[in-house]
Amino acid sequence: MARDAQGYALHLLNRFAGSDWADKLGLRKPMEKSAYTLTKTGFRLAATAARKFSGPKIDKPARLALPGHTTDLFDLNITEEQQMIRDSVRAFAQDALRPAAHDADEQLRLDDALVAQANELGLVSFCVPEALGGAATERSPVTNLLIAEDLGNGDMGLALGILAPLSVANALTHWGSATQQSDYLPAFCADKPPVATIAVNEPVPLFNPHVLATTATQRGSDWVLNGVKAGVPLANRAELLLVAAQTSQGPAVFIVENGAQGLSFADGRGMGLRAAGLCDVQFDNVVVPAHAKLGTDEFDYGTFIDFGHLGWAALAAGTAQSVLDYVIPYVNEREAFGEPISHRQAVAFMVANIGIELEGMRLVAARAASRAEQGLAFRREAFLARTVAARRGMEIGTNGVQLLGGHGFTKEHPVERWYRDLRAVGIQYNGLHL
């Protein structure tokens, strides 16, 4: 039976409330994180994936309809169903992601136990149409934006790792052919969804996602991929990758399964987003079949990138909110010369400016997501949202460190991690598709 929007939200909330992770976090000590030491450098062959992707065949692609708004106006108020979803995701972000963030940043990986807790929310199944075993009846970029922001408020690196498989499922639902959807989407509704990610970024100065060095050339009925992708979340664990490459007709996206001959990766140790397990991926004459090219004639690579812009804008807003929430009590409690430092105009104005810029970030992103939800052109708005998030997000991270003084430069406080993560918004194009 098809679920309506309220059923969607209730189902999600029930799954969240019925899970045991909250009790574990409330009554037990945080689970010890296993040590994760990266001892090898250079490119290594990827392990052969054990999962075999297959599912019930469908005659035509299953698409999710938009909510159906017909006006160019947008409303910043959210629905009751969206509020219920936000309450669940926020609780998970604060109770599970925030306590795990420091260790995940140190160990450069997203813990498997945390992934299992995230899967209990059932977010992935709401990216997949009911015809393929999922629970989705419509596609809402606004709801996806809110989810990404709330996860980013817990920790941006962990949020990126959690959202990467959802983004792949969203892209397959949005553009995948009937064969691609039949083969891959049912797996995302299993008890243990596949680890999946999107690879767009490349190790070149001033990278432009519309000008790709990675190439895909036709050889008979197959495609041959060559090139390097940089900073790909979860790459060394991914069972499925969506890879952007240049063809003779322009940029396209290809589905690559882990274990493909010629696929290798190098462990990443970047400045930020360390919890997402960023890696470089090399494609050395990787052969994929003709049907591995994502989508049909309706595929729009530009829109594919635009949805990524929205995702990064949302993550930046969530992390910037973390900075604001942290510095307000700090400056009110920290005393110098016999009074709280918040009594100094320079400090008060800096905190106020963080709040002002944050609201601007949200407004521009909401405008873009609203247009996307209405089926209107949103490329300009998405680019503005990403640009504002990159510039203002870094400014907010810098000011957060500055307000803490010497404390802001130490790992004793999380602001230095948020600064590093916010810096990545201006250079990352990987991993997200709302």
CATH number of the domain residue 235 falls in:
2.40.110.10
Considering the domain architecture, whether residues 100 and 190 belong to the same structural domain is answered as yes
Q: Does 96 or 131 have the greater pLDDT score? A: 96
pLDDT in tens, 179-221: 999 999 999 988 889 999 999 999 998 899 999 999 999 999 9
Domain count, the chain: 3
* Host domain of residue 219: 215-292
Considering the domain architecture, whether residues 100 and 125 belong to the same structural domain is answered as yes
Window from 18-22, 71-75, 204-208, 236-240 with minimum mean pLDDT: 18-22
pLDDT in tens, 297-352: 789 999 999 999 999 999 999 999 999 999 999 999 998 999 999 999 999 999 99
Considering the domain architecture, whether residues 148 and 178 belong to the same structural domain is answered as yes
User: Which of 129, 134, 122 minimizes the C-alpha distance to 173?
Assistant: 129
Classify residue 145: in a domain, yes or no: yes
DSSP letter assigned to residue 293 = B
* pLDDT band per the 50, 70, 90 thresholds, residue 72: low
User: Which of 431, 427, 420, 432 minimizes the C-alpha distance to 203?
Assistant: 427
User: Which of 32, 28, 13 minimizes the C-alpha distance to 114?
Assistant: 32
Considering the domain architecture, whether residues 179 and 272 belong to the same structural domain is answered as no
Under a CB-based contact definition with an 8 Å cutoff, are residues 11 and 136 in contact? Answer: no
What angle (nearest 5°) sits at the alpha carbon of residue 303, between those of residues 60 and 225? 75
CATH assignment at residue 128: 1.10.540.10
Considering the domain architecture, whether residues 119 and 177 belong to the same structural domain is answered as yes
pLDDT in tens, 357-411: 999 999 999 999 999 998 999 999 999 999 999 999 999 999 999 999 999 999 8
Considering the domain architecture, whether residues 332 and 252 belong to the same structural domain is answered as no
Classify residue 65: in a domain, yes or no: no
Q: What DSSP letter does each residue of 204-223 carry, written as one string?
A: STT--TTS-SSEEEEETTEE
Whether the predicted pLDDT of 71 surpasses 80: no
Classify residue 202: in a domain, yes or no: no
pLDDT at residue number 19: 53
User: Which of 279, 246, 250, 251 minimizes the C-alpha distance to 263?
Assistant: 279
Classify residue 227: in a domain, yes or no: yes
pTM of the model: 0.85
